Amino acid sequence: QIKISLNNYQKKDFLLPLGKYKLELSKRTYIMGIVNLTFDSFSGDGLYSKAQNSKIKIQDYVLEYVHNLIREGADIIDIGGQSTRPYSRPIPLKEEIERTIPVIKRLAKSIKVPISIDTYRAEVAKQALDNGALIVNDITGLRDPKMLKVVKRYNAGVVIMHMKGMPSTMQINPKYRSLIDEIIEFLDKAINRALDIGIAQDKIIIDPGIGFGKNFQHNLLIIKALKELKVLGKPILIGTSRKSFIGKILKVNPQNRLFGSISSVCLAVINGANIVRVHDVKETKQALEVLDRILKVSYR
């Protein structure tokens, strides 16, 4: 086990095959652009509300929004149909499908980057993968056996995230005996469930779940100790963008957390993140181009 952990920790060459796409995660940091098809996103970027205000048809509005994210540098587009902000309640399955699937169907025909479906419902994932999505971003960390089967059947990429509880309850006084150890243990078990059912090693990405069942101090510790997750031998995705811990430090609302978000993203990358999930793609891209160049420079 020690030998495996050491080998995993030193692993740097991650190649993520997604259909016709092959993401070489060892060459640079990849950016996942957030697309919230909701009315009630914590960050104020719910596209349903924005489309209503603009009086443009929602699908046309979303397509233009996504194309702009790609022009700005998004490598992956993450589509979500329901808010998972703290204390949020699930929307009906039918509504989540109606929000996401028609958009994914149109995007799959018009964009040249992989699409991720942000859902913990197996039926939503299945329909998304049927219509062109290539990654399932599961905030519940593959707790549902049906989701495991869907990911395996479609040979999809999968983001396994750590969350304590569910969105409606996760921020009610979350406690840990040993934060990082418990996150690693949870993710390790989820990885093994995935491998046991036949999901390929190179399809798995891990996410410590910033803000999902963590308090202010927990979020800071995760970013500071992110390197410890490398013992699992998987690419690390992290989503700090506009999160409440940044607002608490800076005392600003979500729309004014750009500089704090970039600061947290850069530190996460220094500490091992391979993919960052963000709202502000253009600014993050510029910051990471400089950071990646510095990190890759050779002494010789």
| Residues identified as active-site | 243, 277
- Contact status, residue 137 vs residue 116, Cβ threshold 8 Å: yes
Residues contacting 158, CB < 8 A, separation 6+: 135, 136, 137, 138, 142, 151, 194, 199, 203, 204, 205
Q: How far apart are CA 49 and CA 137, in angstroms?
A: 23
R_g over Cα of the chain = 18
Q: Are strands 204-207 and 15-18 parallel, antiparallel or unpaired?
A: unpaired
Collect contacts of 288-296 with beta carbons under 8 A, ≥24 apart. 288/28, 288/29, 288/31, 291/29, 291/266, 292/28, 292/29, 295/269, 295/270, 296/28
φ, ψ (nearest 5 deg) of residue 158:
-145, 135
CB 221 within 8 A of CB 240: no
Q: Hey, is 210 helix, strand or coil?
A: coil
* Phi-psi label, residue 73: left if phi above 0, alpha if psi -120 to 50, beta otherwise: left
How would DSSP label each residue in 134-189? -EEEETT-S-SHHHHHHHHHHT-EEEEE--SS-TTTTTSS---SSHHHHHHHHHHH
Contact at 8 Å (CB) between 153 and 171? no
